[in-house]
Structure 1
């Protein structure tokens, strides 16, 4: 049998199964509206090259609650704050699970991680470990000096760049990765300009691109083995790279070769290793694979999301110099010009807080939420939602909804200040107009750390440097297009000339 004959036979079989499945599962209940699906592939062709854009355009035609058929899978899309609240608040428990997907299988150790783990005791145990040992208020306060030291190291690196332009996102990624690594591992993992750091960032970006792919095999299982898009092959290759990186880290810690162990510091990995022999009340023991899967989550979700958000913020401020000057005036008044910003300053920097909120609104780090799955059939907005349906929340579309926001495409931090349209908006999952970290049971566990890191780094870059675009580019011509992926990356990296604006001694750092 030739490969062509085999492919034709597979497609015919798939078409037969699709027709049979639709006849057997056709439900008399009223599904939400949506575009007419194609045979077999359903609405997959309607997703386009940037799905959150395509889905936002569809919502204008079909409404804020849509039904799609992706292959054999029912998918519902929430594209307004009120609809998102019904799913993530009213029906949160019913949508606490994740649907099967190739990324979790081939990259995240076959669902052994926290992000894609099935809802249940194991997931609660992993979340509790992170919440207590890494993201609690006490843990965050205990390691405040680590973040401040790493930000100071970044500031010195920017000063050291001299007249050479820098790719800001890469340096930010080194900073956020090292800050997290020192808490997780007790040591830094990269230096500025380190080729391994650039490779690691590329790996994280590739992971986010692959995780954002709508893999045909996830929606038409009969075609999964063909790997028509080559996604599975890429995922397995990328997993091998991450696994090698994480194995090295784990073995160093076990043998005491890691700096954190040698110095006697108690870091997250040491705690995780100790849990291998300690049964937890809810979930049992941790295996090496679960430890590596958790580290993978933290190193990917906890680094590039923050660095890309800060990159977007600085790009917007370069395009809006009056806002940049207003933020600097606030910092010069509260912080002065004789030291760098610290975390204890952040609560007093009202305009900075507004800038951060507006960045999360206009450039949410995860524009299309990680998928959830209906455990049981339910009714939302008068429509029937079948059991097993995948839920996608279009965070990007919600935060640009013209029914909620005046001039939704404009970068206007003042909307979050007293007298603005949304002065009391909460971005921690309570106000569904802006939910960059999600909401409900599956809200991002690292939200508090992410907020602190984004605020501190953005404040430091505003306060300590003047910014010029490379090659004398006019700020109004700066490319602000988005790249495809699970996270909202810039299509073109932000390349800038940093110019120190404070006294030289301010940028001096102690050796870490």
Structure 2
């Protein structure tokens, strides 16, 4: 194709491209003066390093893991333009990142996606380390995740646990002896409802009509909301060129920027009317007698001068944090766990037997039963190990020149702790490709109540740990185990007709199953045990 340099737009593009190459070259030669030996990594091109591999190897996370496997290393360094991206698949090195040198790696990385999701880094998950971040996290832990608030919202979570049993039971009533159900849809209904109730004190954005008429399923707006949450996360974890060359942001080079803009706009379109309405209620009309949900707390928090602690944008950002943090892990984990159990009927039988022993069939499992459900928790841990919700933890950023595993790590480096690399590391786990919940039970006796979904030793990653770890691990555990336990207690699960095995393949964009799990269910309790649909 001939380019006419007389055309002002073409001439401008050529000038921009020449300037970009010169800037990258200058930065490259400046950054070649290292203060120590970097971790091993693949050879790259001058100036751009390994950037070309991002486009040639999709999904990029598989290429990164393949390079580490071929190099036989548990720490590797990739250079994307002038940014060093260091991947970690070792328990010892991961502990160094999130525990021993936690403060040195406490920053988050800048990206087009994280900037949009966080309203310009005004949240807890994506914002940079500093005094404001410390205050935000302190308030979130002390107020939103306090034992008092979690106990106060227990009735809402129990109501939704009852409703999901009612929802599946109603689906069974519409079918024959065994009914085919989409497990991802079921987990989505529960997780979205719990998130909405705890954050906004309501199940739906607007009144909905569902196929079976019970009003429990996701309406069009809720489905759009859920889809937008996942698309925004996919964009964040997708290794875009603009993550490493900031001057290219805003050009929508591969369509990801437009995708994340649309997704964030949808999330805001759903959340904003409720936030605005509640702010008006509290600040202009005297508010309510007590804080009933997380949004009430965010609005009513005051600073030392008695002024509102959070601006509208900060409240908006925290709400998006809650959107993403309360949905992804429980949905992914429960779907994978049921899929693995269908392929291992002996594990499914052992899990239901535990429920029958600990809880029985004359009442529904409650959150108070979770400490005694050791085998159920072991199954969930095993799914976290084999099928994490994303291949890597959210990236850390080095705040200073430092070292990791004895290698030099320049300031500004991105540190990616591999969930897959830890959970499937043969140096850590015997038969790492086998779904074996017993490995998580003390003494393999199956009766220990010490099983926890948290993993501070970093042999696997569940909800994250360390200074930038997940502040909602307790509520995440409750949601995950309650959903799994209620579905196993209330229903018999089997393969759909004419199938005998679930294909356990992850999707390319994330680590969900490539296809939504479809299974056959039928009630396993007396009919009187199934709740009626409840509204608050």
Q: 1:421 to 1:392 in 2, by over 3 A?
A: farther
2:389 alignment counterpart: 365
Residues 284-311 of structure 1 show CA distances to partners (whole Å, capped at 9, x for unaligned) of 7210010010001101221132111111
Q: Report the alpha carbon displacement of residue 410 of structure 1 after superposing the two structures with TM.
A: 0.8
Match of 1:245 in 2: 270
Deviations 1:247-274 (A, max 9, x none): 11112323459xxx88966222112111
**Secondary structure class of the residue paired with 1:68:** strand
1:490: Cα distance to partner?
1.8
Residue 24 of structure 1 is matched in structure 2 by 30
**What is the rounded CA distance, in whole Å, between the counterparts of 1:226 and 1:510 in structure 2?**
49
RMSD: 2.5
Counterparts of 1:197 and 1:214, CA distance in 2: 28
Alignment map for 1:201-240 (pairs within 5 Å): 201-240=226-265
Match of 2:45 in 1: 38
Question: What SS does the aligned partner of 1:156 have?
Answer: helix
Partner of residue 434, structure 1: 460
The answer for the alignment partner of 1:181 in structure 2 is: 196
State the TM-score, normalizing by the size of structure 2. Answer: 0.88
Write the distance in 1 (CA, Å) between the matches of 2:144 and 2:59. Answer: 34
Within a 5 Å distance, the mapping from 1:482-497 to structure 2 comes to 482-485=506-509, 488-497=511-520
Q: Are 1:183 and 1:267, in contact at CA under 8 Å, matched by a contact in 2?
A: yes
Aligned-pair CA distance for 1:427: 4.5
Structural mapping, 1:196-345, within 5 Å: 196-256=221-281, 266-275=292-301, 278-280=302-304, 285-345=309-369
Residue of 154, 157, 160 corresponding to 1:144: 154
Which whole-Å CA distance do the structure 2 matches of 1:262 and 1:503 have between them? 42
CA displacement at 1:500 relative to structure 2: 0.8
Alpha-carbon distance between aligned partners in 1 of 2:11 and 2:104, rounded to the nearest angstrom: 43
Deviates more, 1:435-444 or 1:50-59: 50-59
2:89 and 2:417 in contact (8 A); partners too: yes
Helix, strand or coil: the match of 1:74? strand
Pairing 1:456–2:482 present? yes
Q: 1:52 aligns with which of 55, 61, 66?
A: 61
The correspondence of residues 459-474 of structure 1 with structure 2, limited to 5 A, is 459-474=485-500
DSSP 3-state at the match of 1:291: helix
In the alignment, the residues of structure 1 paired with residue 31 and residue 397 of structure 2 have an alpha-carbon distance, to the nearest angstrom, of 18
- Quickly say closer, same or farther: Cα 1:179–1:263, change in 2 above 3 A: farther
Matched residues in 2 for 1:463 and 1:375: separation?
A: 48
Name structure 1 gaps, 5 residues minimum: none
TM-score relative to the length of structure 1: 0.92
Evaluate the alpha carbon distance shift between residue 53 and residue 427 of structure 1 in structure 2; reply closer, same or farther with a 3 A threshold. farther
Secondary structure at the residue paired with 2:104?
helix
Change (3 A) 1:280 1:351: farther
Q: Is the contact made by 2:85 and 2:416 (CA closer than 8 Å) also made in structure 1?
A: yes
Aligned residue number for residue 4 of structure 2: none
Contact 1:201 1:304 in 2 (8 A): no
CA distance in structure 2 between the partners assigned to 1:44 and 1:337 by the alignment:
57
Counterpart mapping for 1:343-362 below 5 A: 343-362=367-386
Residue 75 of structure 1 deviates from its aligned partner by 1.2
